[in-house]
Amino acid sequence: MRVKCVYNTGKYTPKDFFVQYNWNEEMKFAELTIGKEYTVYAVFILFNHPCYLICSDIYDGVSYQHPMFYPATLFEVTDDMPSKYWIKRKINFNNECDMNDVGFPDILNDEYFYGGVVEGYEKEVQIFQRWKRLIDREAEHHSL
């Protein structure tokens, strides 16, 4: 799955994120470039809104080794083909609606995996980088 950044300010994010992350309408996601395409590694429902796990412009795989979740409202989908490596995890919101988180198995099956990637734990970083290579190759091949 590929998405293109169409907005990079808080004005286009769900207001639910303002309190949770101390965001506001004036803030800017400087690490996202309007018009640039990004590969999506997972889609999680956070605070009832879909968010894409991507490697932003500051990801370098060395000193800044982790992808980040961004609200889907900042992007438009350019390739809606889900990765063949993704699995689903069902989410139920107060018996009102069902949605799915989707992504590679480690991020869905291990509740501490993403935290380990963010903290730079070698094992989790290496696992993420392996999934990233596979999903990137798949996305490049699909876009040809």
pTM listed for this prediction: 0.90
DSSP state of 107: H
The rounded distance, in Å, linking the Cα atoms of 46 and 20 is: 10
Instruction: Label residues 52-75 b or e (16+ Cβ within 10 Å = b).
Output: bbbbbeebeeeeebbbbbbbbbbb
Which of these ranges, 45-54, 83-92, 102-111, has the smallest mean pLDDT?
Answer: 83-92
Average pLDDT over residues 85-112: 79
Which of these ranges, 18-22, 117-121, 125-129, has the smallest mean pLDDT?
Answer: 18-22
Domain ranges across the chain: 2-143
What pLDDT is recorded for position 98? 55
Provide the mean pLDDT of the chain: 89
